A and B are shown apart, each in its own frame.
Chain A
Amino acid sequence: MVKKMKSKQNLLSLYSFIIYSVIYIPIIILIVFSFNDSKVNAMWQGFTFKWYLELFDNSSIVTAMTNSLMVAFVSALISTAIGTLAAVGMYKYKFRGKTVLDGLLYVPIIIPEIVMGIALLMFFSQLKIPTGALTLILAHTTFSVSYVVIVVRSKLEGFDPSLEEAAMDLGAKPLETFCKITLPLIAPGILAGSLLAFTLSMDDVIVSFFVSGPGFTTLPLQIFSMVKFGVSPEINALSTLMLIFTLSIALFSEKLRFKSDKEEKVKEKIIFKEKINLKSIKKIAALFIAVLIIAGVFTGCSKSGSVAQANSEEVLNVFNWSEYLPEEVIEKFEGKYNIKVNYTTYASNEEMLAKLMAGGAQFDIAVSTDYMVDVMRNQNLIQEINMANIPNYKNIGNEFKGLAFDPENKYTVPYMWGNAVVAVNTKMIDTEINSYADLWDNKLNNSMVVLDDQRAIIGIALKKLGYSFNETDPAKLEEAKNELVKLKDNIKIYDSDSPKTSLINGEAAVGYVWGAEAVLAQLENPDIKVFFPEEGLYIWQDNFVIPNGAPNKDNAELFINFLLEPEISAEISKCFPYANPNVEAHKLMDAETLDNEVIYPDSEIIKKGEHLRDLGETTVIYDQIWTELKSN
């Protein structure tokens, strides 16, 4: 029998080897790209170590990683303990309400993460528990514990109860029986469960976004907010280091174990299965602890740095878009005013709003786009700014003040503005796109990347029909929907985060993208040409707002004023290709930047452009159109 079995065993080994390869392919890719000499994670440009060096300079990534490891370790530990106990209890005993418990157990797995995140944040804010490490651990344990129970229970199904009886019979008390018999026998299940819990926690974004607090961010959150500019090579470098670290610890502990096994074999010749299982548990625990110690050392180092910097009571909690403010500027502010800045990021206005609505009221400053200011003001989420504390407000150009969302300039201070344009890779497609209507051309079949944004996309259909970006008439919206159904075949990708990547590497020939993205794409790929559709541009303006209940309002105003200093404002503009409304800063900026007509279009073009307004009830209709468009 063994001969045939052997060939089958070989086949199985080969298969498993293939599976391992598939699992590791993306990992190898990211390792390779961590040495790629290009900021954009698209093409191989040459070998470099610089991302590793930058990684060690980037204290926020290192801190986020140690935070993540800590949260993952603690929540995996708690959920494994609670989950294992409960799995054993549920397996052994019949009790009333078992079905209810079973149901509750599945809720955290089924419920969409965003709902869980918002519900938990509402719950914590009702109880006045400040968001931070504690709330993250509580939330992560909550969704991990269900996984642990399910996995451990599936292992228990094959458990022989007579073994426990035998142990009791031999004089073991229930607890001893549990520890010495039950636990070792179900150890593979516990191990599997705890590994899942750890993995889940290390990878969670949505729930973490809502329950994290200012100054305590996790690695996935950090990464998620950074991908606006494509995957940063630093993240690849970090992932590579973490991978090598965990792999080597795993292999090392394995080697140690193998050695001690051999010694023991000489001693007693027979090795019990339970012993092995207990050992692998011990080994994993050792691995965890090693990771934790390293994490602790890391945190210690990075903390001691920042503690020395801001050893004061004064803090400022900033809630801003990711990749929107250089770290050096924050450090300058901290150094000048001796105020510790807790910087938290989000990827969309809507995320920011949802977090504030659910009770994340610990922020002193948020940055909100025009239409969102309407919403926040109407929901009473923001308060008036004391302009007397912001003398630099005079530096802002007049055309950016008194806009429809804040006609009396009471709630907002402009930060940056921009537009959405059409970008064409002229190498791939030889056509001029002077109007939105040109996007409907059959030639563009399956070749466009467009913003994954309902207002922008429904908006261009409205513009094509000669209506406004802010149309509320259901009949006109219906017309726009019918236009969009025709546009669908031309759209290859919806992407708001980093549409430039598809443009640069030729995945898409035409893009309807943010102006800043088009500028960055042009830097990488000179074949890309930008067009301003004649129907009028989509123009946006981001503004500082101060949420209601901000604990450090004075510091917030101090910070806004600081950012409006011409030198500082010019420094920000140097890092990010958005249009700056600070006219005083223009005097300090490169002529090249100011002449870039994608960033600063001609005033005629701007005049034809439109800002978005909140549409109240009509928002629901937009969403229905969007759902219909995407589920066809």
Chain B
Amino acid sequence: MVRIENVMKDFGGQRVIENLNLEAKQGEFLTLLGPSGCGKTTTLRMIAGFEEPTGGKILLNGKDVSQNQPYERDVNTVFQSYALFPHMNIFENIAFGLKLKKLPKDEIKKRVNEALRLVRLEGYEGRKPNEISGGQKQRVAIARAIINNPKVLLLDEPLGALDMKLRKEMQIELKHLQQKLGITFIYVTHDQEEALVLSDRIAVMNNGKVEQLGNPSEIYERPKTKFVADFIGETNLFEGTVSLVSENCIKVIIEDLSEITITDPLLDKLSLKKNANVYVAVRPEKMKLVSSAKEGMNKIKVTVKEKIYAGSVNKTIAALSKGSEITINELTGNTTTINDISKSMFAQWNYEDGVVILQ
């Protein structure tokens, strides 16, 4: 559907996108996720046609559109700040694209009403943009963008300005809308949770490059780089050296000299050699805090620093003997409520819960 081939972009001599290759398939919800400044919005703007790539190609349906004007591309954008035309009312805003196509008035009216129904804004057509709420503006922006039946809908942090509850609602709505319309969505956000909820696939970007492309569980469960592991969710990262590579497991010695075992069936053990430097990522919710360690699991000795009640989980911040800290999340109710601050305890997790990341 949309293919980005070897695209580069310079701004004032500074390279912001480096040799980007990416493809969004028909009907897919693809998210570009990354911190601000990572190049995700620039990528989106190049697809929309607001920026011209310094090098490379952008293909839409197999056709190179890199040199086409925005108005010549079959893509539409939902802007971050909505960019609703202040001098037009809601109806006129939504009808804008159709009027340009010189469709008959009845048809325009019919389709605008349809779009309004789709975004549940019937009865608002006469209002001006400054007379409706943020969530409503958001829906108008979506309605305006989809009314042209674009092949691809680009969304630039569309929910950024909404409050938490509204954002959650709109996430679901967007997902449903995308399924109903069956068109490709390319979505830009820095909110990893939003990305995980919405996307079919996520491209995690950093410094103008795609760090990892995959479906949400792959991204979450099997980060391929330290950046991805760090950026997506909470992660405990242990730096260490491979001490053993065997057929069904590898072992890594970490800073406090304890040895961690990883039995990852998908791990490419051939690429690992003894004494290679690696990271081991373990999600906090996979860890348990115990006073006496069980065998058959990884264990490291920690001192409890702080306990935080966070609703559904209890967070424990604990320090390794060398001083680096880890986080352990346990479901509320499953933990003992005794005060174990400053106590020496063990953090434990299953062999299959660790992920090895090459340095």
- Does any Cβ of A come within 8 Å of B255's Cβ? no
Residues on the A chain within 8 Å of B97, using CB: none
Cα distance A1–B68 in the bound complex, in angstroms: 6
Chain A proximity mask over B39-55: 1 for CB below 8 Å, otherwise 0 = 00000000001111000
Distance of A5 from chain B, by nearest CB (Å): 8
Distance of A166 from chain B, by nearest CB (Å): 14
Residues on the B chain within 8 Å of A2, using CB: 51-52
Residues on the A chain within 8 Å of B68, using CB: 1
Cα distance A3–B72 in the bound complex, in angstroms: 14
Residues on the B chain within 8 Å of A267, using CB: none
The contact size tier of chain B is: under 10
| Residue with the highest number of chain B CB atoms closer than 10 Å, among A1, A2, A3, A4 | A1
Distance of A158 from chain B, by nearest CB (Å): 9
Residues on the A chain within 8 Å of B67, using CB: 3
Cα distance A39–B119 in the bound complex, in angstroms: 78
Cβ < 8 Å to B, chain A residues 60-85 = none
Residues on the A chain within 8 Å of B70, using CB: 1
In this complex, what residue of A is CB-closest to B67? A3
Distance of A159 from chain B, by nearest CB (Å): 12
Chain B proximity mask over A544-557: 1 for CB below 8 Å, otherwise 0 = 00000000000000
Distance of B135 from chain A, by nearest CB (Å): 17
- Does any Cβ of A come within 8 Å of B69's Cβ? yes
Chain A proximity mask over B49-79: 1 for CB below 8 Å, otherwise 0 = 1111000000000000001111000000000
Distance of B294 from chain A, by nearest CB (Å): 54
Cβ < 8 Å to A, chain B residues 89-112 = none
Cα distance A4–B66 in the bound complex, in angstroms: 12
Chain B proximity mask over A1-36: 1 for CB below 8 Å, otherwise 0 = 111100000000000000000000000000000000
Residues on the A chain within 8 Å of B50, using CB: 1
Cβ < 8 Å to B, chain A residues 75-132 = none
Cα distance A3–B67 in the bound complex, in angstroms: 8
Residues on the B chain within 8 Å of A3, using CB: 52, 67
Cα distance A2–B50 in the bound complex, in angstroms: 8
Distance of B80 from chain A, by nearest CB (Å): 16
Cα distance A3–B70 in the bound complex, in angstroms: 12
Cα distance A459–B68 in the bound complex, in angstroms: 73
Residues on the B chain within 8 Å of A4, using CB: 69
Cα distance A387–B69 in the bound complex, in angstroms: 89
Cα distance A244–B196 in the bound complex, in angstroms: 65
In this complex, what residue of A is CB-closest to B51? A2
Cα distance A2–B70 in the bound complex, in angstroms: 10
Distance of B106 from chain A, by nearest CB (Å): 33
In this complex, what residue of A is CB-closest to B70? A1
Residues on the A chain within 8 Å of B49, using CB: 1
In this complex, what residue of B is CB-closest to A161? B130
Cα distance A2–B68 in the bound complex, in angstroms: 9
Cα distance A411–B355 in the bound complex, in angstroms: 115
Distance of B241 from chain A, by nearest CB (Å): 40
Cα distance A4–B70 in the bound complex, in angstroms: 11
Residues on the B chain within 8 Å of A1, using CB: 49-52, 68-70
| Residue with the highest number of chain B CB atoms closer than 10 Å, among A2, A3, A4 | A2
Cα distance A4–B68 in the bound complex, in angstroms: 9
Cα distance A3–B68 in the bound complex, in angstroms: 9
In this complex, what residue of A is CB-closest to B50? A1
Distance of A295 from chain B, by nearest CB (Å): 42
Cα distance A2–B9 in the bound complex, in angstroms: 13
Distance of A157 from chain B, by nearest CB (Å): 10
Cα distance A4–B49 in the bound complex, in angstroms: 12
Cα distance A4–B69 in the bound complex, in angstroms: 8
Distance of A562 from chain B, by nearest CB (Å): 71
In this complex, what residue of A is CB-closest to B71? A1
Distance of A273 from chain B, by nearest CB (Å): 16
Cβ < 8 Å to B, chain A residues 592-607 = none
Chain A proximity mask over B220-252: 1 for CB below 8 Å, otherwise 0 = 000000000000000000000000000000000
In this complex, what residue of A is CB-closest to B73? A1
In this complex, what residue of B is CB-closest to A4? B69
In this complex, what residue of B is CB-closest to A6? B52
Distance of B238 from chain A, by nearest CB (Å): 36
Chain B proximity mask over A177-215: 1 for CB below 8 Å, otherwise 0 = 000000000000000000000000000000000000000
Cα distance A79–B69 in the bound complex, in angstroms: 46
In this complex, what residue of A is CB-closest to B86? A158
A sample of 7 inter-chain contacts (CB < 8 A) reads A1-B50, A1-B69, A1-B70, A2-B51, A2-B52, A3-B67, A4-B69
Given contacts A1-B49, A1-B50, A1-B70, 9 further A-B contacts (CB under 8 A): A1-B51, A1-B52, A1-B68, A1-B69, A2-B51, A2-B52, A3-B52, A3-B67, A4-B69
Interface set of B (CB-CB < 8 Å, partner A):
49-52, 67-70
- 4 A-B pairs closest in CB distance: A2-B52, A1-B69, A1-B49, A1-B70
